Amino acid sequence: MILFWPFTQCSVILQTMDTPCLRIEPHTKLHSNQELFSSKIDDETVMMDENQGLYFGLNPVASSIWTLLETPLTFQELVTHLLDMYDVTENQCRQEVEKFLYQLLEKNLIKILD
**pLDDT tens digits for 97-112?**
999 999 999 999 999 9
When the candidates are 3.30.1370.60, 3.30.300.30, 3.90.930.60, 3.40.710.10, the CATH number that belongs to 28-113 is 3.90.930.60
Q: What's the 3-state SS for the chain?
A: CEECCCCCCCCCEEEECCEEEEECCCCCEEEECCCCEEEEECCEEEEEECCCCEEEEECHHHHHHHHHCCCCEEHHHHHHHHHHHCCCCHHHHHHHHHHHHHHHHHCCCEEEEC
Q: What is the pTM of this model?
A: 0.80
Name the residue ranges covered by the structural domains of the chain: 28-113
Is the model more confident about 99 or about 12? 99
